[in-house]
Amino acid sequence: MEGLRQVYIGFGGEEAQAVKDIEKTTNHDVKAVEYFIKDRLPELGLEDRAEFIHFGLTSQDINNTAIPLSMAEATADVILPALQAVRDDLAGLAESWKEVPMLARTHGQPASPVMLGKEFAVFVERLDHAIAQFEAVPFAAKFGGATGGFNAHHVAYPEVDWHGFAETFVGEELGLHRSHPTTQIEHYDYMAAWCDALQRIHTILMDLDKDVWHYISLDYFKQKVVAGEVGSSAMPHKVNPIDFENSEGNLGMANAFSDMARKLPISRLQRDLTDSTVLRNIGVPLGHSIMALNALRKGMGKLVLNEPKLKADLEAQWAVVAEAIQTILRREGVDKPYELLKDLTRGNAGIDAASIAEFITGLPVGDAPRTAAITPHNYTGPPEHEEVQRPIPTRPPLPPQPHGKHRVQRPGRGPLAVHIFGHRALSEHPLSHRWY
């Protein structure tokens, strides 16, 4: 078995070229891999077992196990750690700025103040739920012969429990969920769910990119200047939010997953070839996803809070305390308090601390001093606001993801390993003397 493992563990550029050379003749990629493995068996003393390579299988028994296995390992080794790093960076910013008041904007217009940290905690909360949904999607594989029913296997060895064998091989050896029954190909419903879940995460992060971009344009954040960097080829003074723009653009490209999720579960009758073209490109949106996450982290690392600007904007918008005052007047039973504050503040650019204080004077409220103490700087909810002050949980470190008994680190397992490990499982079957 160790010799067989070396066929894929030691697979490199030379071996890949050998497969491609075979494919020039076969015009079939999986058949070229089969012949490549067969060519290696004599040096291992296994030439008499050559016809049990790809025994009873169709190409999708290879592709529909190798690809979800590769996706499972990429998810555990690359995607989830990258998402966790972004999430933890956000949680750190939320904690740092949890006591910084900021003028909110709804519909782009001044609104009741918020805590800046809470606004970042919103994205932490959204990511936690979205990542949990992403992690929960199984990686499904198909393994059942030309049309999913083990026809050829059964006719050759009717005494073998082929479905039991497939459950052991796919579930225990590869650590995947076996879809059954199937046509010639896996349903791709779980893969579509995986694409949709990751797309939802991308959409959340795109929302974050746009928000931070706006905060920078409002001068709420400065950006650390990196020596030697140029913001504009024409305007020397520019320090542009390029990291958030790059992240947003790459997230848009990464959401090509939406087309994959719509296409993959649809295949004519027992199978057509359209899924193959799509699957060959699944690494493209994943590459854009990783570039987006890296750019986002880079951008967040450059943010410098411009607290004087936040304070100045709050001071310039005393009209936002109108909500607080009219709510107190409602409590006190004053007639039409909303309309009173609307007449005072709507469209009135001259509202300031003095005009609000003058309005409050003489109001029929029992705690006028408390009402007068309300300012745009402290009208942010209770001091121990649950959304802001609660400890933000840190996602636990990701456990090792041993997808199957014999998970090998780099290089990842692909069609070669699936061909080989199918025969390892057979070697442990009660009829193993017929195989090895």
The span from the CA of 192 to the CA of 397, in Å, is 27
Token digits of residue 221: 């954040």
- The backbone region for 318, taken as left when phi is positive above 0, alpha when psi lies in -120 to 50, beta otherwise, is alpha
**Sign of the alpha-carbon dihedral angle for 90, 91, 92, 96:** positive
The span from the CA of 327 to the CA of 346, in Å, is 16
How far is CA 387 from each of CA 76, 105, 116, 340, rounded to the nearest angstrom? 30, 18, 11, 32
The span from the CA of 285 to the CA of 259, in Å, is 11
Q: Which of 246, 342, 334 is nearest to 294 (CA)?
A: 246
Residue 111: count other Cβ atoms within 10 Å of its Cβ.
14
Buried b / exposed e across 171-201, counting CB within 10 Å, b at 16+?
A: eebbbbbbbbebbbbbbbebbbbbbbbbbbb
Of 54, 107, 153, 217, which residue is the catalytic one? Answer: 107
- Is 355 a catalytic site residue? no
CA atoms within 13 A on the CB side of 324: 23
For tokens 């073998």, the residue is: 160
The span from the CA of 71 to the CA of 59, in Å, is 18
Of 96, 129, 217, 232, which residue is the catalytic one? Answer: 232
Q: Which of 435, 422, 428, 436 is nearest to 176 (CA)?
A: 422
Q: In the 8-state DSSP scheme, what is residue 381? A: S
How far is CA 322 from each of CA 79, 351, 352, rounded to the nearest angstrom? 46, 10, 11
Residue 374: count other Cβ atoms within 10 Å of its Cβ.
17
DSSP string, 412-423: PP-HHHHHHHHH
- Is 232 a catalytic site residue? yes
Residues noted as catalytic: 107, 232
